[in-house]
Amino acid sequence: MSTPPCAVVVGSLHYDIVVDAPHRPAAGETVTGTAWRPVFGGKGGNQAAAVVAAGVPCRMVSAVGDDGFGTFLRDRLCAAGVDDRHVATLPGQGSGMSVAIMDAGGDYGAVIVSGTNAAIAPEALDRDALWQGATHLVLQNEIPEALNIAAARAARARGLAVVLNAAPARTLSETFVPLVDILVVNAGEAEALCGVAVGSLDGARAAAEALADRFAVAVVTAGGDGVAAAGTGLDGTRSEPGHKVRLVSTHGAVDCFIGTMVARLVEGHPLTEAIADANLTAARRVSSPR
Tell me the range of 167-181, 241-255, 270-284 where mean pLDDT is highest.
167-181
Task: Please tell me the predicted confidence (pLDDT) of residue 287.
Answer: 55
Residue 245 confidence class, pLDDT cut points 50, 70, 90: low
pLDDT-above-90 percentage for the chain: 81
pLDDT of residue 253: 83
Mean pLDDT of 124-133: 96
| pLDDT per position as a tens digit, 136-155 | 999 999 999 999 999 999 99
Residue 1 has pLDDT above 60, yes or no: no
Pairing of strands 238-241, 226-231: antiparallel
Average pLDDT, the chain: 92
The predicted pLDDT at position 247 comes to 54
Q: Which domains does the chain have, with CATH numbers?
A: 6-180+243-286 (3.40.1190.20)
pLDDT score, position 288? 61
Q: What is the pLDDT of residues 110-127, one digit of tens each?
A: 888 999 999 999 999 999
* Residue 108: pLDDT band with limits 50, 70, 90: confident
| pLDDT given at position 117 | 97
Of 138, 158, 133, 135, nearest in space to 148 by CA: 138
What positions carry a catalytic annotation? Answer: 255
pLDDT in tens, 3-50: 789 999 999 999 999 999 999 999 999 999 999 999 999 999 999 999
Task: Return the percentage of the chain with pLDDT > 70, whole number.
Answer: 93
Indicate if the pLDDT at residue 197 is higher than 80. Answer: yes
pLDDT for residue 94:
97
Quote the pLDDT of residue 249.
55
pTM (predicted TM-score)? 0.91
CA 208 vs CA 9, 138, 227: distances in Å? 24, 19, 9
Give me the pLDDT at residue 9, please.
98
Q: Among 98-102, 170-174, 280-284, name the most confident range.
A: 170-174
